Amino acid sequence: MTSRNDLHQSLNSPAPDRPSRRTVVKAAAATAALGVPLAAAVPAQAAAGPAFHHGVASGDPLPDGVLLWTRVTPTPDAVPGSGKGPDVTVRWEIAEDKGFTRVAGRGSTTARAASDHTVKADVRGLRQAATYYFRFSVSGADGAGDVHSPVGRTRTTPAHDAAAPGVRFGVVSCANWEAGYFSAYRHLAARTELDAVLHLGDYIYEYKSGEYPSAENVVRQHEPRHEIITLADYRTRHGAHKTDPDARAMHATHPVIAMWDDHEFADNAWSGGGVNHSPETEGPWERRMAAAKQAYFEWMPVRPSTEGTVYRRVRYGKLADLHLLDLRSFRSEQAGTGSGEVDAPDRTITGRAQLDWLKAGLASSDAAWKLVGTSVMISPVAFGSLPAHLLEPLAELLGLPKEGIAVNVDQWDGYTDDRKELISHLRDNDIRDTVFLTGDIHMAWANNVPVKAATYPLSPSVATEFVVTSVSSDNVDDMLRVAPHTVSLVAVAAVKAANRHVKWLDMDSHGYGVLDVTAERSQMDYYALSDRTDPDATSSWLRSYRTLSGTQKVERVHAPVR
């Protein structure tokens, strides 16, 4: 088994950034039950030959296929972002069994410096709703035998017209390397019943080391240390994340269906810039965004898009259509908080083409459930009066001014015309059983999505929304440096009092969700981590909410799905 020590040496990271050997062992245990090794053996002193330091992954499953991914390090100096290293022929193999005696497909591709030595294989000809195992190999140096990657496990989707009995997703967002460990990924890797993991964005963060969180609260340092701006920077940051043992365990165990949010580019990104981008010192925004997108498509198990976007659909038979949105590439610049510009009809969060695509897909869907992955919250949120010591960190998290205006202009609250058009479309076309799945805000929510928030519940809801908290990124108690679920209780009460469509809100936990969908209901089970700064953090069930078919409302459930 590759040690975390070896992997960080390959990235030139200092020893203090390494978690304990126990962390690596526990991540390996999550996949060992499947007979899936976490990594191929690598000598303590890196050999001259090729190696698979960054694991394997799969994503974007289809009824007859899936996308496979890996990254080859052809020579020790060919670290991510370096541009070094020769081209290498990479062979892939996918089988119905762990021993690879029932091979379903083979092929080869080339890992090149031009793609940072990442490779993808878009495999077809597989059976629907089936589990498969896959691996990659390259020829060893100087005529040595083949070097094999870790073994990965993946799963195809049901046929488009199949009456699938159920589907279960892990749901995550907001994984800040410096703020804590990725234990949520490890716990999802251990859940072998999942069909896929849905990553709702902020897979990486762009900040320099010690900026967010502050230096005294950094758990492990970013690679590179500076803010990422160039293609080499983004590649290096993605490469560092793929050495995390929990991330590699998750990717090796489940197909990941990923979409981006702002921190894959820069904080509060929009089509023409970002809050955390200074053209005068960091160059044109278009160049930075192009670099970030290139690195994302190289390093994530997502099918490349000629349009440079991630909005797309994944279907799970006649049970669920999953619509994934791109809310950064086409949006207008955020309005000033408190400004009436948020209601302007020429402002957009989706762009015209994407909104039309979403509306058409929702209207034509014959699936029992219409799931929409939206990286930022669609439910409206207005705040009453809060104590100053609570308002300041809450405002920073939600993009509000410190004085406390009622909308977060980075979310759908800042683009009310798009939201009104989408909600009217659901109401006017009687499109039922729509569930929005959301990340970004570092809190857990269960909401009804009202036609008019001001008159809810007299005004009905047309959809529901489940928001998952962060894997590790700061939330209210972290920013205040207080015990969880203490002072934030005041803020929770105020938010719920002013927003009657918000049925539950947890401002302090870190963790993940598990969404279980059947014909009768969609249920989100929320799980919390014991301590994001503990590489061996445990996980415990926190709450569950469900939407029954035909109701357009969330209700609490007193036990998770087993």
pTM of the model: 0.90
Q: Is residue 158 part of a domain?
A: no
Same domain, 191 and 144: no
Using an 8 Å Cβ cutoff, are 167 and 319 in contact? Answer: yes
Distance of CA 261 to CAs 99, 191, 204, 329, 395, Å?
38, 26, 10, 9, 19
**DSSP β-bridge partners for residue 188:** none
Cis bond upstream, residue 158 (ω within 30): no
Tokens of 219: 């758990």
Same domain, 539 and 457: yes
pLDDT reading at 403 higher than 50: no
Same domain, 198 and 267: yes
pLDDT reading at 302 higher than 50: yes
Q: Is residue 537 part of a domain?
A: yes
What's the confidence (pLDDT) of residue 190?
A: 98
When mean pLDDT is compared across 71-85, 418-432, 453-467, the lowest value belongs to 453-467
What is the secondary structure of 113-179 as a DSSP string?
GGGTTEEEEEE-SPPTT-EEEEEEEEEPGGG--EEEPPPEEEEPPPPTT-----EEEEEE----GGG
User: How far out from the chain centre does Cα 139 lie?
Assistant: 33
Print burial letters for 51-75: b (CB count within 10 Å at least 16), e (below 16): bbbbbbbbbbbbbebbbbbbbbbbb
pLDDT reading at 385 higher than 90: no
Print burial letters for 480-493: b (CB count within 10 Å at least 16), e (below 16): beeebeebbeebbe
Distance CA 75, CA 72 (A): 9
pLDDT reading at 381 higher than 70: yes
Distance CA 524, CA 513 (A): 6
Same domain, 108 and 193: no
Domain membership of residue 287 as a residue range = 167-557
Distance CA 445, CA 508 (A): 11
Tell me the mean pLDDT in the region 244-248.
98
Between 142 and 185, the higher pLDDT residue: 185
Tell me the mean pLDDT in the region 338-345.
82
pLDDT in tens, 548-557: 999 999 999 9
Closest CA to 442 of 405, 483, 399, 413: 399
**Residue 31: pLDDT band with limits 50, 70, 90:** very low
Same domain, 442 and 494: yes
Mean pLDDT (the chain, rounded): 89
CATH of the domain at 69: 2.60.40.380
pLDDT in tens, 433-483: 999 999 999 999 999 999 988 789 998 999 999 999 999 999 988 988 888
H-assigned helices in 11-113: 21-32
pLDDT reading at 490 higher than 90: no
pLDDT in tens, 79-129: 999 999 999 999 999 999 999 999 999 999 999 999 999 999 999 999 999
Same domain, 416 and 333: yes
Closest CA to 159 of 308, 312, 367: 367
When mean pLDDT is compared across 75-89, 201-215, 402-416, the lowest value belongs to 402-416
- The H or E element spanning position 222 is none
Q: Is residue 362 part of a domain?
A: yes
Tokens of 120: 């993808």
- The H or E element spanning position 445 is strand 444-450
What's the confidence (pLDDT) of residue 145?
A: 87
For residue 456, which amino acid is it? Y
Residue 552 has phi, psi (to 5 degrees) of 60, 30
pLDDT reading at 52 higher than 90: yes
Boundary of a domain, candidates 149, 181, 213: 149
Same domain, 318 and 176: yes
Q: Can you give the length of the chain in residues?
A: 562
Percentage with pLDDT > 70 across the chain = 87
pLDDT in tens, 495-529: 898 899 999 999 999 999 999 999 999 999 999 99
Same domain, 113 and 180: no
Q: Is residue 531 part of a domain?
A: yes
**Residue 13: pLDDT band with limits 50, 70, 90:** very low
What's the confidence (pLDDT) of residue 389?
A: 58
pLDDT reading at 7 higher than 60: no
What's the confidence (pLDDT) of residue 294?
A: 98
pLDDT reading at 400 higher than 80: no
- What does the angle CA 247 – CA 249 – CA 255 come to, to the nearest 5 degrees? 85
Total number of domains constituting the chain: 2
What's the confidence (pLDDT) of residue 129?
A: 98
> Could you tell me the sign of the dihedral formed by the alpha carbons of 299, 305, 306, 311, in that order?
negative
Tell me the mean pLDDT in the region 202-212.
98
